[in-house]
Structure 1
Amino acid sequence: MYFNSFQKGESFESYVLQTLFPEDQYTLIHRTNSFEQNQERFSENTLQPDFKFRCKQSGKEFFVEAKFRSDFNNHNKLEVLTLKQFERYKMFQEQEQCPVFIAVGYEGYANDPENLSLFPLNEFEYLNVYRSKLNEFAIKHEPISSNRLKLDGFSYQEKTEKKKGSKPPNTKVMAYLLATIVLLAIAFWGYSSINKRESSNNIENIETQLQGVIGNYYSILDQGELSKLPDYINPIVDKWYSKENLTLESIISQQKDYQKKYPTRTTKVLWDTFLVEHDDNDYITTYQLDYKLKPRGSQHFKNYKLKITSVWGSNFKLKSMFEDRL
């Protein structure tokens, strides 16, 4: 169920907070809003990593994003971040000049994962990670030591200043080394870019499909073609605006009553606000829309600007939906 996905995420966040970064060793500076808090009013800080800590031993500050995954995908990889998340955290790290770490729990339970890994974002090369790579950054089920984080040696750019009194480099040796490095970089870049391009293309393809599904869904509602809703909505919906665990039949019945009260409606999705995140087998979408409806017997439209959060399964059927008025 959809709520379980969020509950798993919040449960693992609590595990990370209490077990890996306990209060006696780390000061909690910031924590993003919970799912319930965002239902009341969405906060932009939700786009930041989950936590910001200060190490009591070193005084250094850093961010941690917590990700729990139950299983590996069909390619034996763990889907840790989306491309947009990676790019957002990378930009955030550079802007804040504060390191970001990805704490990954996988297999077992969110409140007691079988395996743990901690990636510095700078070491995060692929969105989907093999078990062997996870093992390279494996950590124990205990508080993270300050030495493990290597915060004192963290840098955002290479230092190019020459040391006073140093000898000039051998130009022939340097040229050979440079050529070797360039060739290796080209080979690595080619391999890396293929992997990232495949992942990026897959995400972009999913986003395109979801845009088509969501566009058709609102078109059906605007035109009153409620008989087509079973093609777009799950038999059971975890959350339907203010209600929980509704059947498809009850949703259609509600829509029929709503249609009688408001026979004329138009919906415009603002696609430039459209975002998709992958959570296990679900796709969480957020977007804004302009919504107009005219009550029966009235000559005037009621206008609303809404922020919608909707969750779609791998079958591209709606599993949950709620709104915030802007």
Structure 2
Amino acid sequence: MNKPSSFVKGEAFEEYVRKHIFPKSHYDLVHRTHDYNSNNGDYIESSLKPDFKFRDKKNGQEFYVEVKWRKGAYNRNNKIEWCNAYQLKRYKAIDRNESKVFIVLGFGDKPTEPKEIVLFPMNSCNYTGLYDSFLDKYSFYVDKPVFSGYLWKLK
């Protein structure tokens, strides 16, 4: 079965995020959504949740992380479209009613070697398209783990 290249890139960036941004040494993996092959024959409803649910080893807090890879395509309004309206509504509802949601956006040519990382809390975002001014505010280090103290201060 041939996986669309967008799924291949997305899954590669998810692996990168788990290894480098939310590593096992700092965060326990509580949940991970199913991959393309698992969902292709019989869609698993929990796949509507963000990609990961982690537990912070420092404070025990659980939270979701949605991971998105973009090659860097801006639309005609000079914005990066990071999700669609349905996804935005779903992530905001999970963030509000269930558990905090963080978004990790990766940019560059290769999802295993991103040129830029953006990490923001869902409650700071109300749009599917993001301008550079928003992205710059939440720019994060490439190849560095996010520390608990930094994560929980994001607004």
Please say whether Structure 1 and Structure 2 have the same fold, judged by a TM-score greater than 0.5. yes
For residue 103 of structure 1, what is the aligned residue in structure 2? 104
Asked if 1 retains the 8 angstrom alpha-carbon contact of 2:3 and 2:36, the reply is no
Question: How far did 1:136 drift?
Answer: 0.3
Question: How far did 1:89 drift?
Answer: 1.2
Question: How far did 1:131 drift?
Answer: 1.7
Counterpart CA distance in 2 for 1:48 and 1:12 is: 17
Letter in 1 for 2:93: M
Counterpart CA distance in 2 for 1:3 and 1:83 is: 22
For residue 26 of structure 2, what is the aligned residue in structure 1? 25
Q: Deviations over 1:252-283 (max 9, x none)?
A: xxxxxxxxxxxxxxxxxxxxxxxxxxxxxxxx
For residue 10 of structure 2, what is the aligned residue in structure 1? 9
Letter in 1 for 2:91: Y
Counterpart CA distance in 2 for 1:5 and 1:18 is: 20
For residue 147 of structure 1, what is the aligned residue in structure 2? 149
Question: How far did 1:90 drift?
Answer: 1.3
For residue 74 of structure 2, what is the aligned residue in structure 1? 72
The alignment's C-alpha RMSD in Å is: 1.8
Letter in 2 for 1:38: N
Question: How far did 1:73 drift?
Answer: 2.1
Asked if 1 retains the 8 angstrom alpha-carbon contact of 2:95 and 2:123, the reply is no
Asked if 1 retains the 8 angstrom alpha-carbon contact of 2:88 and 2:127, the reply is no
Question: How far did 1:81 drift?
Answer: 1.4
Counterpart CA distance in 1 for 2:127 and 2:32 is: 26
Q: Which has the higher strand share?
A: 1
Question: How far did 1:41 drift?
Answer: 2.0
Counterpart CA distance in 2 for 1:133 and 1:10 is: 25
Q: Match of 2:8, SS? A: helix
Q: Match of 2:115, SS? A: strand
Letter in 2 for 1:139: F
For residue 206 of structure 1, what is the aligned residue in structure 2? none
Q: Deviations over 1:8-65 (max 9, x none)?
A: 1111111111110000110000000000111232100110000000010111111000
Counterpart CA distance in 2 for 1:40 and 1:148 is: 40
Counterpart CA distance in 2 for 1:15 and 1:73 is: 26
Q: Deviations over 1:173-221 (max 9, x none)?
A: xxxxxxxxxxxxxxxxxxxxxxxxxxxxxxxxxxxxxxxxxxxxxxxxx
Counterpart CA distance in 2 for 1:2 and 1:73 is: 25
Q: Match of 1:113, SS? A: coil
Question: How far did 1:74 drift?
Answer: 2.7
Counterpart CA distance in 1 for 2:33 and 2:148 is: 23
Letter in 2 for 1:128: G
Q: Deviations over 1:236-260 (max 9, x none)?
A: xxxxxxxxxxxxxxxxxxxxxxxxx
Question: How far did 1:78 drift?
Answer: 0.6
Q: Tell me the TM-score normalised to structure 2 length.
A: 0.91
Q: Match of 1:30, SS? A: strand
Counterpart CA distance in 2 for 1:21 and 1:62 is: 11
**Unmatched 5+ residue regions in structure 2?**
none
Matches within 5 A, 1:153-168: none
Q: Could you tell me the percent identity over the aligned residues? A: 38
For residue 85 of structure 1, what is the aligned residue in structure 2? 87
Asked if 1 retains the 8 angstrom alpha-carbon contact of 2:50 and 2:64, the reply is yes
Letter in 2 for 1:76: N
Q: Tell me the TM-score normalised to structure 1 length.
A: 0.45
Counterpart CA distance in 1 for 2:118 and 2:124 is: 12
For residue 113 of structure 2, what is the aligned residue in structure 1? 112
Q: Match of 2:29, SS? A: strand
- Larger deviation, residues 49-58 vs 38-47: 38-47
Number of aligned residue pairs: give it: 152
Matches within 5 A, 1:77-226: 77-96=79-98, 98-141=99-142, 142-150=144-152
Q: Match of 1:110, SS? A: coil
Counterpart CA distance in 2 for 1:75 and 1:106 is: 18
Letter in 2 for 1:104: L
**Unmatched 5+ residue regions in structure 1?**
155-326
Structure-2 change in CA distance of 1:41 and 1:2 (3 Å)? closer
